[in-house]
Structure 1
């Protein structure tokens, strides 16, 4: 299955309405065995924008596709200039109450694992241990020639050295860590090669148009099979990479609960969609269950 660059979805009129009742979510977590599927909406309270919510970045930004990145050196130049600038902000983001609540539920044995569509690493920074990064992580870089992995922070140092004085002002930062820059602002930004073989470097994330690794998908399918219920947090479920797990859970008769302010493509499969901000909603659920959020933050680890 490939991620297609289908970036918009119009909810049909007959979708069930959202609710503000946290009872179903509280009951599911209280029973344990919950698998969390999270999207960009859980990170908005950490300063990382959503793609599709109110003010979402898709109104001004189309994510890079794998085909563009691999085929066009100028497209790679634009990507790395924008991503390098975005990393300065993106890399400083810290977990919010939503991330801390998920980690607390896991510590107390209520959440069995997390599948995240995000590439920001904030679940792990909050203390979640059993996390599958479905679309990869911006904290790693891979060489498309030799397959070597390096840390993004090391690449950032090399790009700083190769582009001294690169300080454009971006119009905004996107959920993929990409900053909004014009071609004039990108200018003659220098892209650096792999230190091992001189090959092309790419962030270790799944671009639109690229396949999610099959073994990763199968691992997630197994997690859905083993879970008692599926809790979707902050995802519109517009792309199939996340929606397929909702469909799998529903077809197996497992409860699907969604916390997302806007309608999602998975609402028809859900027992309920709670239309509340994630941080306050999950904090309220934690209070009802007597689960302290704690202050774990491993962002600098």
Structure 2
């Protein structure tokens, strides 16, 4: 039996599937990952949350990266992997997509917002750190170009992209939702995550401990491969295309 047919069978028999995605699914759309040679952090140092809050120069640099698109986190198109997940959500097989990615590609592929749990935030818009008011990035271009402080019109709090920066607290609501999904699913499919960044990487472990089958699909081996029911080191989009064909043929 092919691995695609085997995974299709697991999906078909599952009652509740949770998909957990990392940078590896989006590299196939041309978005760089963070830690590999040539990745984001090999080209620029991360700006820590406490520095953003306390240092105007750090804020200026952060916004310059946003408007110059230095990190390359946004502007790409969903690939076959994203579209396969969206179709599984549409069919009612996938109950939630828990993602470490900040690129908004799951939503752009057709997954409803309420089905996407972004545990590291979203780079495609900004939020006030004080009152939580949402801002579209283009709304903030004018004050950046004028070298003004970018602050909230509602409460004068600092505005920051809606990503979770190093040193910033994990989003409580999203982590609670992700934990609940992990404990409720009977199949957890990890796509493109090295599973080394915690606490996010602990979510598939929770699913496994709660009795779910764990499938890991990633280009490189992970430290959690020995816990998985199935491990594949393949290109995600092409493999999920095969899986979807197997599901359609059944």
Q: Quick one: structure 1 residues 35 and 277, their matched pair in 2 at CA, closer, same or farther if it must change by over 3 Å? A: same
Report the equivalent of 1:110: 93
Report the equivalent of 2:153: 195
Structure 1 residue 87: Cα displacement = 7.5
Aligned-partner Cα distance in 2 for 1:67–1:24:
47
Segments of 5+ residues of structure 1 without an aligned counterpart are 1-19, 164-188, 292-301
Answer whether contact 2:19 2:188 (CA < 8 A) is retained: yes
Structure number with higher relative contact order (C-alpha < 8 Å, ≥ 6 residues apart) = 1
More helix by percentage:
2
Report the equivalent of 1:230: 188
Aligned-partner Cα distance in 1 for 2:227–2:52:
35
Match of 2:65 among 64, 82, 106: 82
Aligned-partner Cα distance in 1 for 2:152–2:18:
37
Match of 1:137 among 122, 126, 141: 122
Aligned-partner Cα distance in 1 for 2:43–2:74:
22
Answer whether contact 1:34 1:227 (CA < 8 A) is retained: yes
Of the structure 1 ranges 82-91 and 21-30, higher mean CA displacement relative to structure 2 is found in 82-91
TM-score, normalised to structure 1, is 0.74
Structure 1 moving runs of 4+ over 6 Å: none
**What does 1:30-49 correspond to in 2, within 5 Å?**
30-32=12-14, 33-49=16-32
State the Cα deviation string for residues 49-104 of structure 1 (Å, max 9, x = none): 11234643333333222122112221111111112111896442111111000001
**What does 1:125-204 correspond to in 2, within 5 Å?**
125-129=108-112, 130-156=115-141, 158-159=143-144, 162=145, 191-204=149-162
Structure 1 residue 200: Cα displacement = 1.7
1:28 aligned to 2:13?
Answer: no
Report the equivalent of 1:208: 166
Report the equivalent of 1:240: 198
Q: Compute the RMSD of aligned alpha carbons.
A: 2.3
Aligned-partner Cα distance in 2 for 1:55–1:196:
40
Give the count of matched residue pairs: 245
Q: Quick one: structure 1 residues 127 and 81, their matched pair in 2 at CA, closer, same or farther if it must change by over 3 Å? A: same
TM-score, normalised to structure 2, is 0.88
Segments of 5+ residues of structure 2 without an aligned counterpart are none
1:58 aligned to 2:16?
Answer: no
Structure 1 residue 278: Cα displacement = 0.9
